[in-house]
Chains A and B, each alone.
Chain A
Amino acid sequence: MNSIHWFARLKILLRGDPEQMFAELLRSDRRAMIDYCLIICVGCGLYGFTVGIWRAPVQSLYTALKFPLLIFLTAAGNGLLNGMLAQVLGSGLSFRQTFLAVLMSFAIAAVILGGLSPVTLLVVLNAPPLGSDRNVTGHSVVLLTHVFLIAYAGILANRHLLRLLTRSSGGYGQARRILLSWLAGNLLLGSQLAWVLRPFFGSPRLAVQFFRHDPLRGNFYEAVGHALIRVFF
């Protein structure tokens, strides 16, 4: 079978036509996997750069490296589990196809975030800097912008993935169950990996580092729990 150019592959992802995406999945050649990985590297790398730049230029380089790394580690770490869930829930997809489908959805989010990175860069460059009186406003606006855009990209990517799963499994209900099971696994592992790989944004009160001194100490859920206790009690 003829291989598709990476740009045509990118268009297929963005348009989200389930038939074309399913054909991609059936082909599942090595070239496709490499292309999706490159798309994730570039898209998430560009966006990661704009995430870290408000804190410091060095932090932006660290985040540009760590953001794609987080995606790959999440996809790889859950690869086996996602493949099993897909088969148990009747998606009709092999382990390789499941991994490719997850990579496709991450690639969609990466393209959207990469395309929006000039916008976030503008926001960051116009945010009051750390040393100014209005740094709290700057921090909040930049943080909210990133939360909104990452959520938007994630929702779109999962909508396209749902369409693909509906096509492959033959039913919407089944596709939804598979997607939810994948999302639960990815959220569980992804949030902990993000905790281990912190800092991404970079706290204004802490030093700029690639990893914190004790990256494996504690976990994401404990930190959220402690934060909630501090707020309410």
Chain B
Amino acid sequence: MNIPPNPPKPPPVLSSRRQLVFEPMTGDLTPALLLETLLKRPGQIIYDLFHARKAALLAWLFVLGILGVSLYGVVVGAQAGREQIMIAPAKLGLAAFLSMLICLPSLYIFTALDGIDAEIRGISGSLFAAVCLCAILLVGFAPVAWIFSQSTDSVLFMGTLHLVFWAIGIRFGLRLIEAMSRFLGGHSTSHLKVWSAIFILVCLQMMTALRPIITTSATFFPVEKKFFLVQWWDCLTGTVDKGN
């Protein structure tokens, strides 16, 4: 009797959120490989951050994150044109850097509160990876944003569109932080959810603190201090001053 050969095993499913595969990265670490892995197999990045402990990986994630956000900033500044094409990327890069700096200590503390015993290096890397993933997605949205920015003068419309794109990007980025928690055996993510809310609020306030980003202004930094909700309300009601 002929015995049928064993059918080949299907490849593991990688796409589902619950089935992230945490395994070592293969190949030499290059920016292209890093970006591809971050999009397709983010579990490998998390694994390497905590096991391989490559300083280069940490550095690339940080640099690519800031560069990606700055690149999107060119599109944001393109609506106003002139010097804003330079100012908007600088401000967005600075906002991303400062937001990470402000939220890193609390991220470490909140992961520990979720029962995770992790090194600050790996935690920093996960935060850089989250921002980097958000930045990649923003770069992906950049052509769409550019088309709209060239066809409308409405700052309110463009501001809303940029916020929607950023919200999508940061949602995926924060999923990476949750994946890190699962990888490290965290018993819950309740405190990380609170931290995520704090991080989002910090980012929104940072963008308000460094305004105007879309339009031009006489001064680099705003002359009036405002909370982001007040600024949005002023934009909606049309009471915002030029340059604020």
Instruction: Tell me whether A112 and B109 are in contact (CB under 8 A).
Output: yes
Instruction: Scan residues 90-131 of chain A and give those whose CB is less than 8 A from a CB of chain B.
Output: 111-112, 114-116, 118-119, 121-123, 125-129
Instruction: Tell me whether A11 and B112 are in contact (CB under 8 A).
Output: yes
The CA of A125 and the CA of B209, in the complex, are separated in Å by 9
From B105, B112, B206, B225, give the contact of A15 (CB < 8 A): B112
Q: Does A132 contact B (CB under 8 A)?
A: yes
Instruction: Tell me whether B113 and A126 are in contact (CB under 8 A).
Output: no
From B106, B113, B209, B226, give the contact of A119 (CB < 8 A): B106
Supposing A14-B109, A137-B227, A137-B230 touch, asked if A122 and B206 sit within 8 A by C-beta, the answer is yes
Supposing A126-B209, A126-B227, A128-B225 touch, asked if A119 and B198 sit within 8 A by C-beta, the answer is yes
The CA of A180 and the CA of B116, in the complex, are separated in Å by 28
Instruction: Tell me whether A126 and B117 are in contact (CB under 8 A).
Output: no
Tally A residues with Cβ within 8 Å of B: 27
Nearest B-chain residue to A121, judged by Cβ: B102
Give, as a whole number of angstroms, the nearest-CB distance from A114 to chain B.
8
Nearest A-chain residue to B229, judged by Cβ: A141
In the complex, what residues of B have CB within 8 A of residue A172's CB? none
Q: Does B241 contact A (CB under 8 A)?
A: no
Q: Mark B105-119, 1 if CB is under 8 A from A, else 0.
A: 110111011011100
Instruction: Tell me whether A132 and B227 are in contact (CB under 8 A).
Output: no
Q: Does B28 contact A (CB under 8 A)?
A: no
Tally B residues with Cβ within 8 Å of A: 26
The CA of A18 and the CA of B215, in the complex, are separated in Å by 54
Instruction: Tell me whether A119 and B202 are in contact (CB under 8 A).
Output: yes
Instruction: Tell me whether B105 and A118 are in contact (CB under 8 A).
Output: yes
From A115, A127, A138, A156, give the contact of B105 (CB < 8 A): A115
In the complex, what residues of A have CB within 8 A of residue B116's CB? 15
From B102, B109, B227, give the contact of A141 (CB < 8 A): B227
Q: Does A29 contact B (CB under 8 A)?
A: no
In the complex, what residues of B have CB within 8 A of residue A134's CB? 226, 230
The CA of A115 and the CA of B199, in the complex, are separated in Å by 13
- Chain B positions near chain A (C-beta within 8 angstroms): 101-103, 105-106, 108-110, 112-113, 115-117, 191, 194, 198, 202, 205-206, 208-209, 224-227, 230
What are 13 A-B pairs at a CB distance below 8 A? A14-B112, A15-B116, A15-B117, A118-B102, A119-B102, A119-B198, A119-B202, A122-B102, A123-B205, A125-B225, A126-B205, A126-B209, A126-B227
